[in-house]
Structure formats: structure tokens, C-alpha cells
Structure 1
Amino acid sequence: MEEKRMHVRIVPMNGDHLDEVAELERICFSTPWSRNMLAEELDNLLSAFLVALDDEDKVVGYAGLQVVLDEGYITNVAVRPECRRQGVASQLLEVFMNFARGNHLAFLTLEVRASNYDAIALYGSRGFRSVGRRKNYYEHPKEDAVIMTKEFDYGTETADH
């Protein structure tokens, strides 16, 4: 079954998006980030948060990335339930993967609920692979996280001089 692709515009998250992103957190996660936590990320120089806007400039998805040295940690990926399976998360991930390549990050990594088969399949289709588990990482309900990582290979040739 072919998934239809929703037309979205991916832009950096700003203060105008915070209410909608906080609402999306509450809808999608059992332990959501608060509006204040999201607002703090706007001032975090190590973070990049993106929103996916529909044709009416409503937030239908968002994703967060923290970069430490040459490592990228995807903190959150969320899509409104009625907009899932329409390529929104995939488009957000594509921006982060292009950023990772452009900035020569060694890898992108994230945690996902072990029971979130759709997300695991999505990440797998984008080249992420399971590299481990975090026991009881999630609360409400308690559940393991699958650690998924996409490594970037920029060639191993090094000069000898």
C-alpha cells in the first residue's frame, strides 16, 4: 500500500510555534516536554528544532536534534495522529540527515519505544539500525527503548603527511 505524501513546509521552530508543539507533545507522548522545556531549546545553541507546517501554517509535526561535537542526537519526532503515514516524519528526518552530512556528523541516533513498530520501520527505511536497548527507559507504561543509529561514512582515506 502506497502512502500518500502530505505537502508540508519544514522550518526552524520559533516562539510562535510553541503552543502547537506543546500540544503535539501532549497528544503523542505519555511524558511530554512542557512548553517551557521547548522554549528553552530555542536558546540552546546545541539544539535545532524543526516544525512541519501544513498549507494553513498549522504545525502537523516536529523534530528536535542536539549536536555534541560530531554526534547528533534526535530528541523528539512527533506527528499529529491524523497526519501520520503521509511522509511528514520522513521529511523531517531528511532535513536532519542532510544537516548531518553537510556538517560531517559521525552519526545520528535516537531512542524509540520497543512497541512503536511504525516508527522503527520508518527509521529502518531511512538507514537507521538497531544498536541496543535501554531497559525500562520509558514510563507510563514502563517499556524498553530501542537505540537506533545511522552512521555516516565520509571515506577513510587519510593523508600520511
Structure 2
Amino acid sequence: MKDILNTLMNRTFHKQMVKLEPLMVHYPAFQTEDSSEASRFVLRFARKEDLPNIVELERKGYDGYLAWDLVDFSRDWNRNRYGVYILLEKKGDENKRKLVGMVIGRFVMNRSHISHLVVAPDCHSQGLGSYLLEFWLKSSLYLNKNEVTLEVRESNFKAQQLYFKYGFKIQHIKNDYYDNGEAALYLKKLLGFEEGF
């Protein structure tokens, strides 16, 4: 009964995820060159009970640093009706799934904003970051958004390389943006409906 109530609450509050369900259902799974079932990655929308695992993935992905802790994610989940939480899971033996990536943000007015794009360190260099980013961009087009924005650490060259590859441009620098005083690059990508990813 509790699961049913949580699902209903998620459906009525997180309307952007509901609107994206048709896209999610038909979106192809990611398959590495190894064609085994265990090398298959699938997307799904988060549920509230996923939040502790999301925090743990963030800790691993950011090398121990937590941009948001469980309180922050819980607050966002409960208050941000425009929030979208997309998880990437690796299928394992006996259909067990392991959380290996996520892209989280919001869809507001004419734009979407990515607040977290994380891939587990043991799954780097497989194209999973691109896969998550492409789904976010397609979701933005699907919901008729004109642009996508995000902040990225000035020192995070690997992430910047990914974003620049997909056409993001630096709009300005936010000095002292992170807890350690590091600056953030504020990036934006304008979306055209002829785009293919």
C-alpha cells in the first residue's frame, strides 16, 4: 500500500517525469561492445526510496565530495515539482540492477537545468555520460524547451569536454561558487528542433 501511495504522490507532484514517461519507455537501452545481458544499461525515473543510493553515487562520482547531502536531495524531492531524477542502472545476474549513473535537474518555463550528471568511477570511459546527456537533451526537446543550462567546476576538464562536444558554450564564470572557493563555468546550449544526437 505504501508503494502505491508513493507512486501516486510521485505522479501527481513530479509532473515533468510523468510527461517524459512515453519517451523513457521507448528509449533504447545502452549496450557496451560486450553483448552479454550484464553489459546492458537501462534508464528509469527515481523514486523517493532511491535518495540514499543517489547520495552514495554522488559521493563516489565526486571522489568523496557531496554537493548535496540526503537532506538537500530530500528537500528538493519534496518541494521541487519541476524536478526530474533520471537513474541509469546496470543489469546484472538474475536481473539484479546496480545504480551506476544519474542526471538530475529541473524543467522550468522554456529551459531545463542540469544540477547533477554523475557516472560511477568504475563505469567511466564507456559512453555512459554521453548516453545520460543525450537523454536529457532529447527530453528537453520533447518538452519543447529552448535551452539547457548547467554549472561545471572550472577544474573539471573531463566534464567540460563532454559538454563542449554537445554544443554547450560558456556564458560566464561564477567565482567562489563551490564550498572550496572554486569557480564554476555557467554553460548553456540552445536547442533547435532539427537536432539529432
Instruction: Please report the TM-score for the alignment, with normalisation by the length of structure 2.
Output: 0.70
- CA–CA distance in structure 1, aligned partners of residues 109 and 66 of structure 2: 28
**Partner of residue 58, structure 2:** 25
2:61 maps to a residue whose letter is C
Partners in 1 of 2:66 and 2:55 — Cα distance? 12
> What's 1:146 paired with?
185
Distance apart, 1:154 and its partner CA: 4.6
The superposition leaves residues 67-100 of structure 1 with CA deviations (integer Å, 9 ceiling, x where unpaired) of: 2211111111111111112111211111111111
SS of match in other structure, 1:58? strand
Shift of 1:39: 3.1
The structure with higher relative contact order (CA 8 Å, sep 6+) is 1
For residues 75 and 138 of structure 1, the distance between their equivalents in structure 2, rounded to whole angstroms, comes to 13
| Mapping 1:73-112, distance limit 5 Å | 73-112=113-152
Residue 192 of structure 2 aligns to a residue in which SS?
coil
Counterpart position of 1:36: 71
The structure-2 alpha-carbon separation of the partners of 1:123 and 1:103, relative to structure 1 and needing over 3 Å to count, comes to: same
Q: Which has the larger share of strand?
A: 1
Aligned residue in 2 for 1:159:
none
Q: What amino acid sits opposite 1:36 in the alignment?
A: V
Aligned residues: 151
- SS of aligned partner of 1:143: coil
Q: Which SS does the other structure have where 1:38 is aligned?
A: helix
How do residues 41-80 of structure 1 correspond to structure 2 at under 5 angstroms?
41-43=76-78, 44-56=80-92, 57-80=97-120
Residue matched to 2:177: 137
Contact 1:65 1:96 (C-alpha < 8 Å) held by counterparts: no
Alignment-mate amino acid for residue 124 of structure 2 = R
1:114 equivalent in alignment to 2:154:
yes
Distance 2:145 2:104 in 1: 16
The percentage of counterpart residues that share the same residue type is: 25
Counterpart CA distance in 1 for 2:140 and 2:186 is 18
- Give the C-alpha shift of residue 23 in structure 1: 0.5
Gaps of 5+ in 2: 1-31, 34-38
